[in-house]
Structure 1
Amino acid sequence: MRKYQSLQASRGIAASLVVLYHLGKSLAAEKYFAIDAFSIPFSFGRYSVEFFFVLSGFIIWLAHRQEISQPARLMNYLKKRFVRVYPIYWIVFVPVFIIGLAVPALRNGVPDDLLLIAKSLLLIPMDKMVAGGTGSPVLIVAWTLQYEIVFYLFFAALIVNRWLGVGLAGLISWLYFHNAVISPLAFPLSFLAKDYVLLFAMGISVALLCNSDKFKVRNPMLYAIVGTVMFALISLDVVLGSNLLANQIIILYGVASSSIIFGLVNAENAGQTVLGNKWLQTLGDASYSLYLIHFPLISLLCKISLFIGLNRLGFVGALIANVVMFSTCVAVSIAFHLWVEKPFLGMFRSRKPAVTPQETPAKVQKKRVVGVLRR
């Protein structure tokens, strides 16, 4: 699968909006700067994860659609998904967990139940009512990764057998209908009945449209612009205090994200380079690191701000902290990506195929090219 520069840049922008949302909430917290105004401008940033879910559905389908009903490809698929998510997550999780145990003021924020710790490490879905309020008691953003893992497992079922995947999709659809129309479901079934599952389906739908020869797009950027305007209008409504229900906001953001992705992909397929700035590309490459690192880093930086007395400067101090903290989160995440994440992932992607006695170097090179196209 080709790398779409516009999608990579959009990934970085979406991760940055999540950072700004959490940063604003932290500055507004009573224990830090207690200035409510900072929680308002980027209050919509929490909905940027909707873009990630739609994008994930798009990417997984486009990258692995040819593996459906090919069980021999299952282990390779699972290995790729495992390597992409778990090791970097653990590298961030473990020190945050250890620091939480070591610092008395933070000890209440980490679990002491071994089963809960194991579930957190494995990204097994947990009831948010009994696990940190988000279902991820150590890294609060990890609840989204739990949905990613469930989606990966669903696609694994498609790889084993397409009808197995179709059956699971039907079951999840029934659970969603039951939860929304008949009566609310209890955890863990309620986890599968959330609106987030629709976002992955939207991403798959976008991939199918982009890959269809029957659907011709004359002005792809128009879709991206309409989606962006829609995203902005929904965000403005959220900032002003929306009267929409939470599930309505999620679905609307999903539609907007789908339109953006559809337009940007078709624009690049037509030869239009969009959002190709190298800094945005770097930010996009580091988006996973930024997503994982930013919240504990913000917590640390807020405590440092209190220690040096920046909170005594009031609004000006909070504004300085806002700029410095955001810049620090981005810089640290890019450094982490370049020095930890990228080299680590490179170890698994740079293995050269062995030359058997029946193969010439030319045949091996051809195999490499075919492999790249299949990925």
Structure 2
Amino acid sequence: MDQNLALLYQPGSLQTTKPKFNSNLEALRAIAALVVVWHHTIVHPFQLDPNFAPTGTANFNPPGHFAVLIFFILSGYVIGLAHHKPLTTWSSVKIYVRKRFTRIYPIYAVSLIFAVVVSGFKYSIITTLGHLIFCQIIWVPLIFENNPLWSLQYEMLFYLLFIPLSSLRISPILVTIVSIFLSFITAYLANRGIGGTSYSYFVGFSFWALGWALGTVPTSPSINYRKLISALLLLLAIGYFNVLQSAYTKMATIIMPMIVKPTVSSEWPESFISPIDFAALPFALLIILQFINYENKYFRWTAIILYILPAYTLIYIARNFPKENTSTALLPILFYIISVFIFFYKSEILERCSKYIISKIGLIGSISYGLYVIHFPIISIFHRITIFSGSIKTFSIRFVIYAILSIATAYWLEKKFQPFIKKIL
């Protein structure tokens, strides 16, 4: 193990066995994917129901962007687990590229073609071809009917960067530190007309490289399922309770206003990721570390602090109620309170129930990639259907059908189509 990782754990508290893939991560993938699906029904009003948009408590917008950051870390983590040995030969590089291509591209291509069909073929051949070679945003505009594909361009770049970094045996911790440093430097330069939105890629790669580093860290054999459920609930609540984001904004505004969110090309999707996302990194890391069974006394105390910090927002909401409209905060408040309770309350019954829930949620995790890339073309179809719309009833029924269709299609892509393509390639 890299000596630079020694600061991350106490050897006496962990078994130094070679890390292996943790099936419980499928539950985290599942919730992250479902959060994105839910997020897009809210952040795009009238997309699911062209004549109705939920209000009040039902208008709660789950942290879809945070879920994507979780996906970036998980992606790097899986690569770190799978490739402990550096890619030092052409044969190892070929195997790596083939596996990544087979896993990602067939489903990606189907979801892209489906989106073009749903759009009524309104996009040019150049735009479609640009997406097929992952040049969306850089060279061609993003196809709205499948706008979640913006993140796949980032993923492909990160996979390619891993090849030279691995072959040169560069420490993933060093890569993470340098990437974070370059994120702020390029964000600063962007406001002076230098480098465009390159900072967005450095920020994203910082999360991915951190996942890669975590893939080299020894973990505990014991699993606390209660804390995994707590982490999932915290994920659902963090969009409203990330006090670090407010602190980061105030601090960065005083120290270096340009790096909070660069003013050049700062609108989505050209610069969907910015340095302010680092304010989410501690909570993302907390959730991931709990799922990979990382444990030592320093992490335990850090976890406690991070669970308590969001209570500041809870106090603020209580003090200002009912002066401000807090109806959309009711669900995240509930998620946060239950998350904290489960984290601190030890119960054998709760542990058994948590284990059962994690195992069932994990079933969706195995189709999370397919769900991520196919749900938006499906919701775009609903937008074009004007009959049976215009009320909370129609919206609810549409949502159920939309969720079933998305999950069923994702299942076919992941369990039928992708294995078939893998077999013939």
TM-score (norm 2): 0.64
Q: How many residues align?
A: 322
Query: Is 1:292 matched with 2:303?
Result: no
Which structure shows the higher helix fraction?
Answer: 1
Instruction: Supply the distance in 2 between the matched residues of 1:44 and 1:178 (Cα, whole angstroms).
Output: 27
1:94 corresponds to which of 108, 113, 119: 113
- The answer for the alignment partner of 1:281 in structure 2 is 362
**Mapping 1:179-258, distance limit 5 Å:** 179-184=186-191, 185-187=194-196, 189-194=198-203, 196-210=204-218, 224=228, 227-228=231-232, 230-237=234-241, 243=246, 245=249, 247=274, 250-258=277-285
Query: Is 1:335 matched with 2:412?
Result: yes
Residue type matched to 2:376 in 1?
Answer: F
Q: Is the 8 A contact 1:83 1:345 kept in 2?
A: yes
Instruction: Supply the distance in 2 between the matched residues of 1:295 and 1:164 (Cα, whole angstroms).
Output: 37
Query: Is 1:18 matched with 2:36?
Result: yes
Residue type matched to 2:76 in 1?
Answer: G
- The answer for the alignment partner of 2:96 in structure 1 is 77
Q: Is the 8 A contact 2:43 2:61 kept in 1?
A: no
| Cα distance per residue 1:134-157 (max 9 Å; x no partner) | xx5562111111111111011111
Deviating more after overlay: 283-292 vs 256-265: 256-265
Instruction: Supply the distance in 2 between the matched residues of 1:226 and 1:95 (Cα, whole angstroms).
Output: 37
Structure 1's unaligned 5+ residue stretches are 349-375
Structure 2's unaligned 5+ residue stretches are 1-18, 250-260, 262-273, 296-351
The Cα of 1:78 is off from its aligned counterpart by 0.8
| Cα distance per residue 1:44-84 (max 9 Å; x no partner) | 23321111011111111111121343444111111111111
Instruction: Supply the distance in 1 between the matched residues of 2:27 and 2:424 (Cα, whole angstroms).
Output: 24
Query: Is 1:140 matched with 2:159?
Result: no
Instruction: Supply the distance in 1 between the matched residues of 2:150 and 2:55 (Cα, whole angstroms).
Output: 26
Residue type matched to 2:290 in 1?
Answer: G
The Cα of 1:343 is off from its aligned counterpart by 3.2
Q: Is the 8 A contact 1:157 1:165 kept in 2?
A: no
**Mapping 1:87-166, distance limit 5 Å:** 87-102=106-121, 107=122, 110=123, 112=124, 114=126, 116-124=127-135, 126-127=137-138, 131-132=141-142, 139-162=146-169
Query: Is 1:8 matched with 2:18?
Result: no
Residue type matched to 1:154 in 2?
Answer: L
Change (3 A) 1:229 1:21: closer
Instruction: Supply the distance in 1 between the matched residues of 2:166 and 2:62 (Cα, whole angstroms).
Output: 39
Instruction: Supply the distance in 2 between the matched residues of 1:125 and 1:165 (Cα, whole angstroms).
Output: 28
The Cα of 1:206 is off from its aligned counterpart by 2.1
Instruction: Supply the distance in 1 between the matched residues of 2:184 and 2:246 (Cα, whole angstroms).
Output: 23
Counterpart secondary structure, 1:48: helix
Q: Is the 8 A contact 2:130 2:136 kept in 1?
A: yes
Q: Is the 8 A contact 2:371 2:410 kept in 1?
A: yes
| Cα distance per residue 1:176-221 (max 9 Å; x no partner) | 2312445534436344333x2221122123223236xxxx788866
Q: Is the 8 A contact 1:69 1:158 kept in 2?
A: no
Q: Is the 8 A contact 2:225 2:355 kept in 1?
A: no
Residue type matched to 1:323 in 2?
Answer: V
- The answer for the alignment partner of 2:341 in structure 1 is none
Change (3 A) 1:263 1:222: farther
Query: Is 1:319 matched with 2:396?
Result: yes
Residue type matched to 1:18 in 2?
Answer: V
Instruction: Supply the distance in 1 between the matched residues of 2:402 and 2:20 (Cα, whole angstroms).
Output: 34
- The answer for the alignment partner of 1:363 in structure 2 is none
Residue type matched to 2:164 in 1?
Answer: A
Percent identity, aligned pairs only, is 22
- The answer for the alignment partner of 2:324 in structure 1 is none
Instruction: Supply the distance in 2 between the matched residues of 1:249 and 1:172 (Cα, whole angstroms).
Output: 14
Q: Is the 8 A contact 2:118 2:380 kept in 1?
A: no
Instruction: Supply the distance in 2 between the matched residues of 1:259 and 1:26 (Cα, whole angstroms).
Output: 29
Residue type matched to 2:206 in 1?
Answer: L
Change (3 A) 1:147 1:326: same
Instruction: Supply the distance in 1 between the matched residues of 2:58 and 2:196 (Cα, whole angstroms).
Output: 31
| Cα distance per residue 1:106-153 (max 9 Å; x no partner) | x2xx3x152x3322111135349x623xxx556211111111111101
Q: Is the 8 A contact 1:54 1:201 kept in 2?
A: yes
The Cα of 1:4 is off from its aligned counterpart by 2.2
Using CA pairs under 8 Å that are at least 6 residues apart, name the structure with larger relative contact order, 1 or 2. 2
Instruction: Supply the distance in 1 between the matched residues of 2:412 and 2:106 (Cα, whole angstroms).
Output: 17
Q: Is the 8 A contact 2:84 2:216 kept in 1?
A: no
Residue type matched to 2:98 in 1?
Answer: K
